[in-house]
Amino acid sequence: MTEKIAIISLGCNKNLVDSEIMTGFLLENGFLMVNEAAIADVIIVNTCGFIESAKKEAIDTIFEMAQYKKQGNCKALIVTGCLAKRYTKQLAEDMPEADAILGVYDYSSIAQAVKNALAGIRTIVDNGKAEYLDTVTKRVISTSGGMAYLKIAEGCDNHCAYCAIPSIRGNYTSRSMASLLAEAKLLNSQGVTELVLTAQDTTRYGEDRGNNEFLLLLKELSRIDFEWIRVLYAYPSRVTSELLEFMDSAPNICKYLDIPIQHSSDKMLSAMNRHYNNKDLVRIIKKIRSFENDWALRTTVICGFPTETTKEFTQLLHFISEYPFDSLGAFAFSREEGTPAALMPSQCREGTAQARQDSIMLRQGEIVHSFNKRRIGKTYKTLVEGFDSEQNSYFGRTYFLAPEVDGKVFFTSKGELNIGDYKNIMISDAFGHDFFGECKDELS
């Protein structure tokens, strides 16, 4: 009998890549992958442990999956990912339901951990290194519609005051250029047409080896026959004019930049240990908005960080009004144990932080409505991702919509379309973050 395995992947797209890597190792060892935990012999929960809400979701999911050991087919439950790395010893002691616990760089041990668990042997592994990514060759893509992520680095050296990632995933470690180009070419040969670059800080690539090589990497990737290459998680101080000018000129680089600013007040940026200031942000945004191409900008901000007063919050609110983003996510500050911010004086009341988050998102809703109106009547190249039977329409994304975090375009077509195709869609309406339109013709 071939054991069936289901992976529940929580958290960010970087975690999703890890789940795809585990899938590759498991298939190589003869296991059968399934999408439903209810029918699985082994359930793997790949956890996030970034903030309190993510930890709660992870723990709730683990206990929910543990019920299948009592009432379903499940013979073994395995916990991996950031929560497993951050609380290895605590989980081992307090969660006997977990038959194996693997840290964030121990995925090459997943097949053996499954075999051990099925044999009644508990595995706890937490000694892997980030460099293992350079040798992974069996990743199985789980995303659809011709899109895949390329994780270019692990860990982080920015040490933002609120962030636990450096303590979980360690120092910033760039993958080798050769391994990235080889993986990108393989993905392209497998039909991937949209390559999305991801890392804790994509723009830091190469600095751990002595020189920043992100622009060089981008140039090399742009020579591969991708329709779109998209950049996520760009750190403001490393977004140079040279980088922006290349992105603007390269035909297959999306005119889209995800650049988490977190705040606009110099006082708050300093408190957060972010290594740039308000003038840097203004320079980047003005540069991007000066291009003839119609760029889309995405960001995230934190509300209620320690020492944030009404003055600093009002400055942030004014900033996003004066320098608007096409897409913005606001988060109430989460007091994470082990981070400098957790011990800072002048902690903001939870209710105040939440109210400020609500105010930011209310203003952003107005900005999005304004941005969307100017797109109505225009035609955009759109990646066909699927068909929504409830809406009786196809859906997909344009260059200004990133997967998972942004909206979608819903559209009708007189003919049958293939998933992964690129079509010209004329936008006829917009609601919230989504757009509606119709397929005009096939792209030449």
Q: Is residue 363 part of a domain?
A: yes
Does residue 444 have a pLDDT over 70? no
In this prediction, residue 437 carries a pLDDT of: 94
Query: Which pLDDT tens digit goes with each residue over 174-226?
Result: 999 999 999 999 999 999 999 999 999 999 999 999 999 999 999 999 999 99
Identity at 279, one-letter amino acid code:
K
176 lies in the same domain as 305 = yes
Is 349:335 a contact under the CB 8 Å cutoff? no
Q: Is residue 120 part of a domain?
A: yes
Element (H, E) at 48: none
Is 164:338 a contact under the CB 8 Å cutoff? yes
In this prediction, residue 310 carries a pLDDT of: 96
CATH for 29: 3.40.50.12160
Does residue 233 have a pLDDT over 90? yes
Extract the tokens encoding 401.
């919509």
Closest CA to 5 of 54, 45, 64: 45
Query: Which pLDDT tens digit goes with each residue over 84-120?
Result: 888 888 888 888 888 999 988 888 899 999 999 999 9
Exposure b/e, 142-153, CB count within 10 A at least 16 = b: bbebbbbbbbbb
Does residue 68 have a pLDDT over 60? yes
pTM summary value: 0.93
Is 80:44 a contact under the CB 8 Å cutoff? yes
Does residue 137 have a pLDDT over 90? no
218 lies in the same domain as 258 = yes
Q: Is residue 139 part of a domain?
A: no
- Residue 443: pLDDT band by 50, 70, 90 thresholds? very low
Measure the CA–CA gap between 393 and 205, rounded to whole angstroms. Answer: 40
Backbone angles phi, psi at 38, to 5 degrees: -65, -25
Query: Which pLDDT tens digit goes with each residue over 375-401?
Result: 999 999 999 999 988 888 999 999 999
Torsion of CA 143, 144, 150, 151, to 10 degrees: -10
Long-range contacts of 392-399 (CB under 8 A, 24+ apart): 393/436, 394/439, 396/145, 396/423, 396/425, 398/425, 398/435, 399/228, 399/230, 399/254, 399/255, 399/256, 399/296
In this prediction, residue 442 carries a pLDDT of: 53
Q: Is residue 137 part of a domain?
A: no
In this prediction, residue 321 carries a pLDDT of: 96
Q: What is the mean pLDDT of residues 134-156?
A: 90
Q: Which residue has the higher pLDDT, 366 or 1?
A: 366
Structural domain span for residue 430: 379-442
